[in-house]
Amino acid sequence: MEKKQIIKKYEDKENCIKKKCIFAAQNYNQIYKQKQSTIMLNHYETVFIMTPVLSDEQMKETVKKFENFLLEKGAEIVHQENWGLRKLEYPIAKKTSGFYHLFEFKAEGSVVKEYELQYRRDEKIMRYLTVALDKHAIAYSEKRRNLRKEKEATKEQ
Amino acid sequence: MAQQTDIKYLTPIAVDIRKKKYCRFKKSGIKYIDYKDGEFLKRFVNEQGRILPRRLTGTSLKFQKKVAQAVKRARHLALLPFVTDNLKSNQ
């Protein structure tokens, strides 16, 4: 009798563990599926400086090129700004000015690496900076955008 | 004892009442410091273009770190100089 009881005890324990394992696996699957369905899109902002040697058309072409690259990689461009020809505070590659351009986009983290590689390969790019935006930065950039719009509107009037 | 209190100084003792410094970001509720705004960042930089210490500007540690980060980013993009002379007088 004692032996049987002990065996039963062990069996019960085993069953219990099995049930727990199955439950954990199901749970894990659910969480994993959820994660897969909502791929994290991060918010990035990138500024780059092109050489002042370019003509306006060439400048626009290069901007288009980078824009298209981002779109190809499935990024969503939230905003872009062209600051035009600006004086540099210190000379870079013996140039004292450059064309500034800004992109704000949503993309996966892996896109950034490929995108920066494009910068490095392009000789027309003198400097670049890509920054991930946190929630405060996003709020700020939205505010900034609205301010810019208002300014342009008042200028046109 | 009475004589001690009668001591008169030739020059009045300088008791300077300083205004207490405060963190302007905390006070005005700024949460993000933009590296693209070079003119604003010039307030946290001395004439040679070096970042001013907290003890002078009164910025809290949390925001001093952000200011430093922003200034460094601005320098990389040539929006602020690494070194110069008379940064402020040029304005």
CATH number, domain with residue B28: 4.10.640.10
Q: What is the mean pLDDT of residues A50-68?
A: 93
- Higher-pLDDT residue of A46, A8: A46
Asked whether residue B7 is domain-assigned, the answer is: no
Please report which helix (H) or strand (E) contains residue B90, including its range.
none
Angle at B67 between CA B62 and CA B71, to 5 degrees: 155
Residue B41: per-residue pLDDT: 92
Q: Which of A90, A131, A139 sits opposite B78 (nearest CB)?
A: A90
Q: φ and ψ at A36, to 5 degrees?
A: -65, -35
ipTM: 0.71
- The closest CB to that of B77, out of A49, A137, A140, belongs to A49
Residue in B closest to A141 by C-alpha: B34
Q: In the prediction, which pLDDT does A58 show?
A: 93
A136 to B79: CB separation less than 8 angstroms, yes or no: no
CB A68 within 8 A of CB A40: no
Residue A154 has pLDDT above 60, yes or no: yes
Q: What range does the domain containing B63 cover?
A: 21-91
In a shared domain, residues A129 and A67? yes
A100 and A60 in a common domain: yes
Determine contact, residues A140/B31, Cβ cutoff 8 Å: yes
- Residue B41 forms part of a structural domain: yes
pLDDT for res B33 = 93
| Strand A95-107 relative to strand A42-50, pairing | antiparallel
Q: Which residues of B touch A131 (CB under 8 A)?
A: 35, 73
- pLDDT for position A36: 57
Q: What is the pLDDT of residues A114-143, one digit of tens each?
A: 999 999 999 999 999 999 999 999 999 999
More confident residue, A125 or A8: A125
The answer to whether the CB atoms of B31 and A136 lie below 8 A apart is yes
Residue B63 lies in a domain: yes
Give the residue from chain A lying closest to B38, CA to CA: A89
> Cα–Cα distance between A74 and A60 in angstroms, integer?
21
Q: How far apart are CA A61 and CA A145, in angstroms?
A: 24
**Boundaries of domain holding A87:** 42-156
Write down the pLDDT at residue A37. 54
Range of lowest pLDDT (A7-11, A127-131, B64-68): A7-11
- By CA distance, what is B37's nearest residue in A? A144
Name which of A48, A90, A130 to mutate to probe chain B: the one with the most chain B Cβ atoms within 10 A of its Cβ: A90
Domain count, chain A: 2
- Does any domain span residue B1? no
Select from B85, B90, B79, B91 the least CA-distant residue to B46. Answer: B85
Q: What proportion of chain A, given as a percentage, has pLDDT over 70? A: 92
Q: Is B85 helix (H, G, I), strand (E, B) or coil?
A: coil
Q: Which pLDDT value is given to residue A156?
A: 77
Given this model, what pLDDT does residue A41 score? 84
Dihedral sign computed on CA atoms, order A93, A95, A99, A102 = positive
Q: Based on the fold, state whether residues A82 and A96 are members of the same structural domain.
A: yes
The answer to whether the CB atoms of B32 and A49 lie below 8 A apart is no
For residue A134, list chain B residues with Cβ-Cβ distance below 8 A.
32
Give the model's confidence band at A153: pLDDT under 50 very low, under 70 low, under 90 confident, else very high.
confident
Do A68 and A145 lie in one domain? The reply is: yes
User: What's the domain count of chain B?
Assistant: 1
Which pLDDT score is estimated for A27?
73
Tell whether the model's pLDDT for residue B45 goes beyond 60: yes
- Residue A35, pLDDT score: 60
